[in-house]
Amino acid sequence: MRYSVADGSAFAAMTGLTQNYITPYALALNANTTQIGLLTSLPNFAMALCQLAAPWLCETVGGRRKLILPAVFLHALMWIPILLIPYLIHESPIPWLIGFMTLNTILGSVANPAWGSMMADLVPSYIRGRYFAYRNRICSFITLVFSFIGGAILQFFTEDVFTGFSILFGGAAICRFISLYYLWRMHEPATISVTDKNGGYLTILKGLFTSNIGRFITLVTLINFTVMIASPFFSVYMLEDLKFSYLGYMINTSCVTIAALLTNTFWGRRTDRGGNLKAIQITSFLMPLVSLNWLFSTNYYYLIYAQLFSGFIWTGFNLATTNYLYDATPPESRTHYIAFFNAINGIAICLGSLLGGYIAPHLPCLLGYSMKTLFLISGVGRGIAALILLWGIKEVRRVPQMSMMDFIFTRHRRHH
């Protein structure tokens, strides 16, 4: 578990150097709005398909760790061709960027079901909330630091921006190799089986709208679909419409990570004590405001509040949904469930991004900007998904009965 924190820290450094800077990189290569949508959607579609092969790959190579290590090694290497694009490809660089990012995403995610299954076996269920909150808090801080470093590098190289991007992506490769070292040192617990003998994906698919875990997967999938209608275009809105500098953009996007850093413990203790479902309910109903907040003002400091609110909601939602998935799935089937969950969400992210990229150029202006119309559509869609699907999901752990107000405002002390 300590090595996992170290692995996550190195991965977070890579994330800080890259996650908020792929879209600016594409814009520097003269990508248009439709290409920005494809840059998000196609890698996620490929990721969805490769997730489904994870249980078979685990069985073929003889273990979860034996799949994780080579995938991470190749993932680290993939940052090199990405940084070389502006130097080697002078005609139509965006299709190459989309292709390389698709491979990058596949290699970075193909082992996720195996990693999730392994971590669920390693971390006892009664401390998962606090452990992953602790791990996430450290990772959030490192992501924040390296996001600032990335923004400062791009600001320094404003006149030679591709040199700045090369430094970012080269640093990302180094960080991922460090992550690989700590994954190599981790112990893989014995597992009952990585092969689901109860029908595999077909059984999960049949229960998508009827079983408890199926309704949960459907809820998260629809929320991610509606989120991704707008999500890839907040960067476009800030850089193209509001004309943020790289430094201003970096500070704004870093606020999501700051909020995660400050609130991981808040959510972790509450999910351990009061259950994951209450956190999912609260964050799902507040999720529309993550998008709708952007309608009300273009003031820079107001948009910092919008990002802090977004970070608070997404921290609780991601922690609770991940741990709920671990709690609700039997160990012998967990790799299948995680793979299916990741796959169907990857498809939803792909379709949402494609839809957003397609309709964005054709939308009427709302309060001066067509992007705000996109944000409105996304916010309303999130609310509809929560209202329709949330009430059919039940808590799977034995937790004390408490109201939503007690869950949020009662001080939840550590317990054993």
* Residue 239 pLDDT exceeds 70: yes
pLDDT digits (tens, 9 = 90+) for 50-79: 878 878 888 788 888 889 999 999 999 999
Name the 3-class secondary structure at 329.
coil
Q: Is 87 exposed, middle or buried (0-12, 13-18, 19+ CB in 10 A)?
A: exposed
Q: What is the pLDDT of residue 191?
A: 63
Whole-number Å distance between alpha carbons of 161 and 138: 30
pLDDT band at 199 (very low <50, low <70, confident <90, very high): low
Task: Please determine, looking at this structure, whether the domain spanning 2-188+200-409 carries the CATH number 3.90.550.10.
Answer: no
Tell me if 212 sits within 8 A of 324, measured CB to CB: no
Whole-number Å distance between alpha carbons of 61 and 314: 35
Q: What is the pLDDT of residue 235?
A: 87
Residues 6+ apart with CB under 8 A from 124: none
Whole-number Å distance between alpha carbons of 400 and 414: 15
Q: How far is CA 27 from the centre of its chain?
A: 22
* Residue 80 pLDDT exceeds 80: yes
Measure Cα distances from 393 to 161, 210, 211, 268, 330 in Å: 48, 10, 9, 20, 17
pLDDT band at 192 (very low <50, low <70, confident <90, very high): low
Overall average pLDDT of the 91-95 stretch: 91
* Residue 194 pLDDT exceeds 50: no
What are the beta bridge partners of residue 366? 369
DSSP class of residue 231 equals: G
* Residue 176 pLDDT exceeds 80: yes
What are the beta bridge partners of residue 369? 366
Q: What is the pLDDT of residue 229?
A: 92
* Residue 193 pLDDT exceeds 70: no
pLDDT digits (tens, 9 = 90+) for 327-381: 888 877 888 888 889 889 888 988 898 899 889 888 898 988 889 999 999 999 9
